[in-house]
């Protein structure tokens, strides 16, 4: 059996009983980073063989994992935090498992995007997850402009993951594309410094000019008034 297991995004207690049972029972845990996954497993006194699959080696590792599954091994896929494949590696592996008609189960749990949305003060009835924006500036700007047209066809709250060192630049690009709109920033979900607030982009820029952005950020915005 192949299990896709959601893990905590911060607080190690945010894991389901079923996820713990699965991690205790499998022969192998496939993870992004053995250091991160080891912290979780050690917390629950679980000792397992770990195999790294990330963006750089996933294509080369799929065949060997499929072979182990065909031999009857039980394998769990986890990401560093949250639900696997949500802006994390594993798509090729999961797709191949399903294509090969091998048995699989999803073990649901937390995700940063669904945890951020309810506290964002943004409309929650429809949302669009964009993950991380494109790396190249022109591609990023083109995408931002297209979102205006999308929001006219389907009013939606957009959700973006932002690395701390890119937060100020991202806010500046949003201000250039949309004007001084209100955006929500949800920070360090389930961790000690968790916060959530909605402000004008200019207010956020003033804040981060005074103090450096640190930790994990989820940015949410709605273009309904443009």
135-159 pLDDT per residue, tens: 999 999 999 999 999 999 999 999 9
Q: Give me the chain's average pLDDT, please.
A: 96
In a 3-state reduction of DSSP, which class is residue 37? helix
Per-residue pLDDT at 225 exceeds 80:
no
Is 3.40.190.10 the CATH classification of the domain at 113-222?
no
Q: CA torsion, points 194, 212, 181, 137, in degrees to nearest 10?
A: -120
Inter-residue contact 32 to 79 (CB < 8 Å): yes
Reported as a pLDDT band with limits 50, 70 and 90, residue 55 is: confident
Q: Where are the alpha helices (DSSP H) in 4-74?
A: 17-25, 34-43, 58-70
Per-residue pLDDT at 60 exceeds 80:
yes
Beta bridge partners of 161: 218
Q: Is the pTM of this model over 0.95?
A: no
Inter-residue contact 151 to 222 (CB < 8 Å): yes
Rounded Cα–Cα distance for residues 202 and 136 (Å): 24
Provide CATH 3.40.1010.10 ranges for the chain: 2-110
Tens of pLDDT along 99-121? 999 999 999 999 999 999 999 99
In a 3-state reduction of DSSP, which class is residue 140? helix
Inter-residue contact 72 to 66 (CB < 8 Å): no
Per-residue pLDDT at 134? 94
Burial class (CB in 10 A: 0-12, 13-18, 19+), 84: buried
Residue 126's CB is within 10 A of a number of other CB atoms, namely 10
Provide CATH 3.30.950.10 ranges for the chain: 113-222
Determine the topology of domain 2-110 in CATH.
Cobalt-precorrin-4 Transmethylase; domain 1 (3.40.1010)
Q: Where are the alpha helices (DSSP H) in 108-223?
A: 112-116, 137-153, 167-178, 201-210
What is the average per-residue pLDDT within 4-15?
97
């Amino acid at each position: 059996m192949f299990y896709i297991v959601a893990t905590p995004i911060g607080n190690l207690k945010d894991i389901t009983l079923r996820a713990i049972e699965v991690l205790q029972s499998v022969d192998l845990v496939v993870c992004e980073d053995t250091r991160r996954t080891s912290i979780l497993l050690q917390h629950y006194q679980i000792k397992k063989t770990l195999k790294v699959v990330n963006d750089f080696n996933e294509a080369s590792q799929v065949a060997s994992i499929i072979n182990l599954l065909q031999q009857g091994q039980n394998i769990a896929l986890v990401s560093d935090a949250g639900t696997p494949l949500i802006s994390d590696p594993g798509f090729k592996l999961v797709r191949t498992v399903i294509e090969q008609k091998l048995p699989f189960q999803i073990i649901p749990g937390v995700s940063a995007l669904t945890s951020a949305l309810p506290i964002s003060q943004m409309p929650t009835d429809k949302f669009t997850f964009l993950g991380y924006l494109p790396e190249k500036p022109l591609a990023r700007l083109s995408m931002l402009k297209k979102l205006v047209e999308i929001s006219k066809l389907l009013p939606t709250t957009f959700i973006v993951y932002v690395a701390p060192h890119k937060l100020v630049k991202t806010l500046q690009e949003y201000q250039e594309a949309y004007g001084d709109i209100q955006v929500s920033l949800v920070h360090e979900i389930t961790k000690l410094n968790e916060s959530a607030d909605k402000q004008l982009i200019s207010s956020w820029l003033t804040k981060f000019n005074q103090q450096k952005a640190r930790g994990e950020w989820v940015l949410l915005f709605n273009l309904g008034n443009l």
